[in-house]
A = this chain, B = another copy of it.
């Protein structure tokens, strides 16, 4: 579905004669420095084919743009740049990271943005950008920068949410309560792996933008991409760190299971001793010897019970003291 379609002249949106955005795929002639920006969401094959025809896009790039399982990358086809970005957002209800995809075709006088799935709201991004004519003036590369910036900002938010999750896991692992944290740790590791797959491959395209190795990016623009690259670097450090922390937390979890088992075993043994020793005493007074003076005592029975109780009390005291109970 074509979501929006406009011409930008000196950084300002120009109303197209034909307001119907669905006709956007008819190429709009541009003046020097101007460009057309077509936004598409979950396109049909037919829509992609029309767009491809209008802007003369390479079939391999168009094929990739129709598929929402690309890895982040930048590719040059003639004078058109093709950029794939993964979008990430954190769903609080599920403690889960969701992924979407944005494909950008950036030509000398046009930008085509193809969004798959939810995530970053490109129309807000467009409206924000339209407020900043001095940025839009720089043409298609400014649009690419604005979108990359927004996508990477979302990465940072996701990173922050995962940091909170890891803190929770950490607390749970070291709490005295018996918790089975392995499922939680495993799930978080999976999420982190997913974030990594979005973040890591994007570093190479960013590096190329920063070093102005890509035609159309001058030094001034590169400075802005350096900012994005720096944020990306920060996210990737956060992610790496969380991964290592989770592994360490998991090891600590294993250690605690062992320690708890040990404590349980000692508690159980101490508890058993409290029963087994009186049983022995009972057994002794259950023997059938003819001559057992205690048996004839008036208070023999209370004496035996008292003996059992006091031996147990001594044991209890001993086990408490030595930390077994």
Residues on A facing B (Cβ under 8 Å): 58, 60, 64, 69-71, 73, 75, 77, 170, 174, 180, 182-183, 185-186, 189-190, 193, 197, 201, 223-224, 226-227, 230, 233-234, 237, 241, 244-245, 248-262, 264-266, 268-269, 271-273, 275-280, 282-292, 294-301, 304-305, 308
Contacts and interface: CB of A to CB of B under 8 A. Distances in A.
Q: Which 10 A-B pairs have the closest CB atoms?
A: A282-B283, A285-B287, A182-B252, A268-B269, A182-B255, A289-B301, A286-B286, A289-B300, A257-B258, A261-B262
Nearest to A73: B230
A290 B296 contact: yes
A241 B294 contact: no
A94 B19 CA distance: 59
A193 B291 contact: no
Contacts of A285: 287-289
Contact of A250 (B69, B170, B251): B251
Contacts of A268: 265-266, 269
Given A193-B245, A197-B241, 20 more contacts: A60-B226, A70-B234, A75-B226, A77-B223, A174-B186, A183-B252, A186-B248, A189-B245, A189-B248, A201-B237, A254-B254, A254-B258, A265-B268, A278-B284, A283-B283, A287-B288, A288-B292, A289-B297, A291-B300, A291-B301
A58 B219 CA distance: 14
B288 A295 contact: yes
B60 A227 contact: yes
Contacts of A279: 276, 279-280, 283
A71 B286 contact: no
A251 B258 CA distance: 13
